[in-house]
Amino acid sequence: MSLLVIGTVAFDAIETPFGKTDKIVGGAATYIGLSASYFTDSINLVSVVGADFPADAIDMLHQHKINTDGLEIKQDGKTFFWSGKYHNDMNSRDTIDTQLNVLLDFDPKVPEQHSNPDFLMLGNLMPSLQRKVIEQLPKRPKLIVMDTMNFWMDIAMEELLQTIAMVDVLTINDAEARQLSGEYSLVKAAAKILMMGPKYLIIKKGEHGALLFNNKSVFFAPALPLEDVFDPTGAGDTFAGGFIGYLAKSKDISFDSMKRAIIFGSAMASFCVEKFGTENLLHLEQSAIDARVQEFIDLVQFDISLV
């Protein structure tokens, strides 16, 4: 099953209570692609970088069998740059610098040979660009998953709602679910958001786990309690990459399969936050991923027989 990923490929400079990095390779599509690469090897990327983007970073993507035919390299532009500093609780951060650079006039083009994906992952990006990608596909994918954020709710709500109406699964965090729906209760928020078009909603609660809703059921997966969280950057994208990667691998998009996909996505996110940037996603063994998933099973399983 082929997976098309659209999103940013970027430079990040990150500071956390545990240290700081120089410019390192990041961006939603990078985390999504790396995470998904542990589940499927038919991944095609649509994104844009500048002439300053290093060849060895592109090599790194290729090593993870991520096809970069759709990665536009603007010779006269610079790569999108974000710099942020996390507070002591790791749950909030300040943006120090944002340089949109080549993102400013990004016009995503899906290469014809990749325009028939089975799965489409729309990483966080201007909603009109996400929609443009959907509209370039001659046939609707089996599943479209969309990530977005509060920023677009603030400045482009109408476009956002248009795009949301076109997707199958929406992933947002708890504050965003409340903002999008105007409801404080996440149960009520989910009911409203599912009326906007998506059949499934994933509400990410960071260290407090994630909820999956459809119009009949709800599923909850915790985050793994970790000794240390070094850097939360990319955790949500890594989660999404594991989620859609697992679904693409399993070829099963039932609610039960999505539950499993959320556990695998959560396991991948738990690796991501243990080191800076993408570092911990570069060389994972399948056995380490399985052991991490087993930790989730042990964490939540209990045995009650109601008589």
The reply to whether 293 sits near a second copy by the rule CB under 8 A is yes
CB 281 within 8 A of CB 268: yes
Place of tokens 């998009």: 253
The verdict on 275 binding a second copy (CB under 8 A) reads no
From 53-61, 93-101, 158-166, 211-219, give the range in contact with a second copy by CB under 8 A: 211-219
Question: How far is Cα 200 from Cα 280, in angstroms, rounded to an integer?
Answer: 29
Distance between CA 130 and CA 155 in Å, rounded?
A: 16
Beta-bridge partners for 14 = 84
Nearest to 28 by CA among 92, 106, 139: 106
- Using CB under 8 A as the binding rule, whether residue 227 contacts a second copy is answered as yes
Residue 93, classified by CB atoms within 10 Å of its CB into exposed (0-12), middle (13-18) or buried (19+), is middle
| Residue choice 263, 268, 269, 273 for contact with a second copy (CB under 8 A) | 263
- Asked if 290 interacts with a second copy (CB under 8 A), we say yes
Widest Cα–Cα separation across the chain: 70
Find the shortest distance in angstroms from Cβ 102 to a second copy: 38
* Residue 123 near residue 240 (C-beta atoms within 8 A): yes
Q: Which is nearer to a second copy, 174 or 279 (CB)?
A: 174
φ, ψ of residue 157 to 5 degrees: the values are -60, -40
Distance between CA atoms of residues 204 and 169, nearest Å = 13
> Tokens for 13?
């400079």
Span interacting with a second copy, options 18-26, 28-36, 41-49, 220-228, rule CB under 8 A:
220-228
- Using the rule CB under 8 A, give the single segment among 78-86, 128-136, 205-213, 273-281 that binds a second copy: 205-213
Position among 89, 94, 112, 252 found at the interface with a second copy (CB under 8 A)? 89
267 and 293 Cβ atoms separated by less than 8 Å: yes
Among 126, 211, 235, 281, binds a second copy (CB under 8 A): 211
Count of residues interacting with a second copy (CB under 8 A): 37
The CA distance from 266 to 20, in Å, is 25
* 104 lines the binding site for a second copy (CB under 8 A): no
Q: Of 140 and 208, which has the nearer Cβ to a second copy?
A: 208
Query: Is 186 a binder of a second copy (CB under 8 A)?
Result: yes
Contact 269, 242 (CB under 8 A): yes
Which of 153, 222, 275, 279 is in the footprint of a second copy by CB under 8 A? 222
Minimal distance, residue 4 CB to a second copy, in Å:
26
Cβ proximity to a second copy, 23 vs 259, nearer residue: 259
Other C-beta atoms closer than 10 Å to the C-beta of 159 total 16
Asked if 256 interacts with a second copy (CB under 8 A), we say yes
The distance of closest approach from Cβ of residue 19 to a second copy in the complex, given in angstroms and rounded to an integer, is 16
- Interface ranges with a second copy (CB under 8 A): 88-89, 184-188, 205, 208-209, 211, 217-222, 225-229, 256, 259-260, 263, 290, 293-294, 297-300, 302-304, 306
